[in-house]
Amino acid sequence: MTRPSATAILLLAALSAWACGAAGGTPARWPEGAAFAGLGGDGRWHAYVVRDGTPRRVRTATEPRGLSYHPPRRLLAYVGADGSVRLLALATGRERVLLRQGRDAYTQPAFAPDGKALYLARLPQGASAHAGVVRLHLADGRIERVAGGDGAHLEPAPDGAGSVWLTRIECGLECGRLVQTLWRLVPGGRLRPVLRRRGIAREPAPSADGRLVYFAADYTGPYKIWRCTAEGTGCAALTRGPRPDLSPAVAADGTVLFVRLGRDGHRVHRLRPGHDPEPLPLPAGVRRIRSLEICPCLARPP
C-alpha cells in the first residue's frame, strides 16, 4: 500500500479544519463590549467583560450582584454583596464607592449612553413594592428620581435615543398573579405605556435607536424572548422550546444574546437575524449568569 506523502497529510488536515469551521465547529464569538456576572466553580460571583470576542474576568473589591459596563470609558458599575454601589475604572484598577447601603437599597444599575450617569432601581427601606427609578450623576453624586409613584418601577434600560425603558409592577397577590408591564420614559420626562398585557414582561433591552425593544415574557408558558416596536405593536416571540429564556441583550447589528435556563445550569445563546440560536462559550466553571448586557453606547447615533 502506498503511504500518503507529508504534503497530502497536511492538505487533508487543512481541509478537515476548514470543514469543521464551515459546519459550525468554530466556537461562536461574543459581541464586543458585552458584560455579565457569572457564578464560578468557587461559589462566588465574578464580573466579566468581552474583549476580542472572549469574556474576560475583571477583579472587583466585592462580589457583584448586578453590573453595567461602559466600554468607551472603560467603566464598570456594580452593586456589591454588601449593598454598596461601586465604580471601577478598568484602565487604572481604581475603585470607589458611589453609594453605601442605608435605609434605601439600590439595584439594577444601567449606564447612561454618555457614561456620565447611572440609572438604578431604588427600594425605599429595602421594599420592592414602592421601588422607583433614579439617576445618579457620577460627577457630583446627585440623585434625581425619574420614575415612581403608582406601582413599583424597576429594571431601567436606557437606549441611545434619549428614552429610558423600564417595567412596572401593576398587580400582585390581590390579582391572583403578578402583572408586570413595559413602559418608556421619553425625553422630557413623560412616562408612556408600551405594553400592558396580563402576565410578566421583564428585563427590557431596547435597540440603540429606540425603535425596538426586546424583553422576556411568560405570555405563552415558560419565559421566552419577545420583540415589539416602541409603540407596542408587532410583538412576537423570538425563541421557543420548553426551557425558560431570560435576560436579552441586543448588539448594534441586531444580534440578540439571551440566557437559557437548563437542568445543569445556564447557557448564553446568540440569535442573529435569519439564524437559529447558537450557544456561546462560557468561561471555565461558570454555571449561572446574571446582568447580561450590551451598552447602547456602542452603536452609532440614529
Quote the mean pLDDT of the chain.
89
Q: Per-residue pLDDT for 22 more than 90?
A: no
Q: Per-residue pLDDT for 177 more than 50?
A: yes
Per-residue pLDDT, averaged over 186-203, amounts to: 93
Which pLDDT score is estimated for 18?
Answer: 30
Residue 22 lies in a domain: no
| Residue 215 contacts residue 199 (beta carbons within 8 Å) | no
Residue 4 lies in a domain: no
Which pLDDT score is estimated for 174?
Answer: 67
Rounded Cα gap, residues 85 and 134, in angstroms = 13
Model confidence over 233-288: pLDDT tens digits? Answer: 999 999 999 999 999 999 999 999 999 999 899 999 999 988 999 999 999 999 99
Q: How far is CA 152 from the centre of its chain?
A: 20
With residue 169 as reference, give the H or E element that holds it: strand 164-171
Query: Which residues have C-beta within 8 Å of that of residue 35, sequence separation ≥ 6?
Result: 47, 48, 49, 50, 67, 68, 69, 76, 291, 292, 293, 294, 295
End-to-end Cα, the chain, rounded Å: 66
> What is residue 128's DSSP assignment?
G
Q: Per-residue pLDDT for 127 more than 90?
A: no
Residue 16 lies in a domain: no
**CATH number assigned to the domain comprising residue 193:** 2.120.10.30
Return the minimum-mean-pLDDT range out of 37-51, 61-75, 177-191, 202-216.
177-191
Rounded Cα gap, residues 267 and 158, in angstroms = 25
Q: Per-residue pLDDT for 176 more than 80?
A: no
Q: Per-residue pLDDT for 189 more than 50?
A: yes
Domain that residue 195 falls in: 30-298
> What is residue 126's DSSP assignment?
G
Model confidence over 53-111: pLDDT tens digits? Answer: 999 999 999 999 999 999 999 999 999 999 999 999 999 999 999 999 889 999 999 99
Q: Centre a 10 Å sphere on the Cβ of residue 263 and count the other Cβ atoms it contains.
A: 5
Query: pLDDT confidence of 24, banded at 50, 70, 90?
Result: very low
271 or 170, higher pLDDT: 271
- In the numeric block, the cell 437575524 is attached to 273
16 φ, ψ (degrees, to nearest 5): -65, -45
Number of folded domains in the chain? 1
Q: Per-residue pLDDT for 17 more than 60?
A: no
Beta-bridged to residue 302, according to DSSP, are: none
Query: pLDDT confidence of 43, banded at 50, 70, 90?
Result: very high
Query: Which residues have C-beta within 8 Å of that of residue 112, sequence separation ≥ 6?
Result: 118, 119, 135, 158
With residue 13 as reference, give the H or E element that holds it: helix 6-22
Return the minimum-mean-pLDDT range out of 229-233, 282-286, 287-291, 297-301.
297-301
Rounded Cα gap, residues 296 and 28, in angstroms = 22
Indicate if the alpha-carbon torsion angle 240, 243, 248, 249 is positive or negative: negative
